[in-house]
Amino acid sequence: MPELPEVETVRTRLAPVLVGRRIEKAVILDPRLVRPFDPELVAAELVGERVAAVERRGKYLVVRFESDRVLLIHLRMTGSLRHATTGALADDPHRRAVLSLDNRSDVAYRDVRRFGTWELLEPGELRPYLAQRLGPEPLSGLTAARLGDRLAGRRTSLKAALLDQRTVAGLGNIYADEALWYARLHPLRPAGGLAEAEAVRLLRGVRRALRLGIERQGASLRDYATPDGERGAMQEEFRAYGREGEPCDRCGAPITKTRVAGRGTWYCPRCQA
């Protein structure tokens, strides 16, 4: 499932090919992508829009148009975007939408599980939409004290709190486990019980995991690929996620798997406390 590093990688690759381009044709093949709106109406609204910027907030891709409207894309579990010269992409039964640009290139959206969403927002709608759903960005501006404040008094586990996008935006199951491993914090610790020094470690761990993910162009376990069709390499860097029974890179104890907040959770039982 794409998390902050995967979406940031997509953003970095798409921005140079999208900015300044005008959408000449839009086809939305799957009504689920834009529901409750009519896919043909949304497609018609996209035609003529020119891209001003491609940004990211949490796990959302924010395509800003010169009209000040925004196409907000969430890849959810299996969404991915490909960019190529018109006609160069092979047929794909999981293709859900195609935007044709004014330089004879296409952006195609693929989604096997079909949980991804495209929302066309009118000027002024983006800020309140995101403010309701997302906490601060972990890689810019957030301090350990502010993170500690956001966790204070919460009875839920640390892992569940990190998965909650309103605590901090952009972490999912992979990077939450990696962040907690770097921070040497147990995923089942009560989120509200962190000492100051532990909140500092947690923020450092979150940043270290996310930065490494961005550096390695994301993790390709199943569906995720960059818009050029390349795989990421973060899966080679996992310290905890998916490593049940393998020795911890720090202390050698076997990594343990459990379930937290309904999600498979990997951690070192010796050095994460």
- Tell me which of 57, 59, 82, 189 is the catalytic residue: 59
What is the distance between the alpha carbons of residues 227 and 16, in angstroms, rounded to a whole number?
A: 12
Q: Which is nearer to Zn ion, 217 or 272 (CB)?
A: 272
Q: Does 271 bind Zn ion (CB under 5 A)?
A: yes
What is the distance between the alpha carbons of residues 18 and 63, in angstroms, rounded to a whole number?
A: 9
CB of 67 to Zn ion, least distance (A): 52
Q: Which is nearer to Zn ion, 206 or 268 (CB)?
A: 268
- Taking CB under 5 A as the criterion, the residue among 47, 145, 152, 251 binding Zn ion is 251
φ, ψ of residue 87 in degrees (nearest 5): 90, -10
What is the distance between the alpha carbons of residues 234 and 130, in angstroms, rounded to a whole number?
A: 27
Identify the helix (H) or strand (E) that includes residue 266: strand 263-267
* Residue 113 appears among annotated catalytic residues: no
Q: Which is nearer to Zn ion, 72 or 268 (CB)?
A: 268
Q: Does 208 bind Zn ion (CB under 5 A)?
A: no
What is the distance between the alpha carbons of residues 113 and 201, in angstroms, rounded to a whole number?
A: 36
Q: Name the segment binding Zn ion (CB under 5 A); options: 113-121, 140-148, 160-168, 265-273.
A: 265-273
On whether the CB atoms of residues 24 and 47 are closer than 8 A, the answer is: yes
Q: Identify the CA nearest to 81 among candidates 52, 105, 103.
A: 105
Q: Which is nearer to Zn ion, 41 or 253 (CB)?
A: 253
* Residue 257 appears among annotated catalytic residues: no
What is the distance between the alpha carbons of residues 165 and 133, in angstroms, rounded to a whole number?
A: 7
Q: Does 248 bind Zn ion (CB under 5 A)?
A: yes
* Residue 207 appears among annotated catalytic residues: no
CB of 255 to Zn ion, least distance (A): 8
Q: Does 269 bind Zn ion (CB under 5 A)?
A: no
* Residue 263 appears among annotated catalytic residues: yes
Q: Does 255 bind Zn ion (CB under 5 A)?
A: no
Q: Does 260 bind Zn ion (CB under 5 A)?
A: no
Residue 258: exposed, middle, or buried by beta-carbon count in 10 A (0-12, 13-18, 19+)?
A: middle
What is the distance between the alpha carbons of residues 219 and 222, in angstroms, rounded to a whole number?
A: 9
**# binding residues, Zn ion (CB under 5 A):** 7
The footprint of Zn ion (CB under 5 A) covers 248, 250-251, 253, 268, 270-271
Q: Which residues are catalytic?
A: 2-3, 59, 263
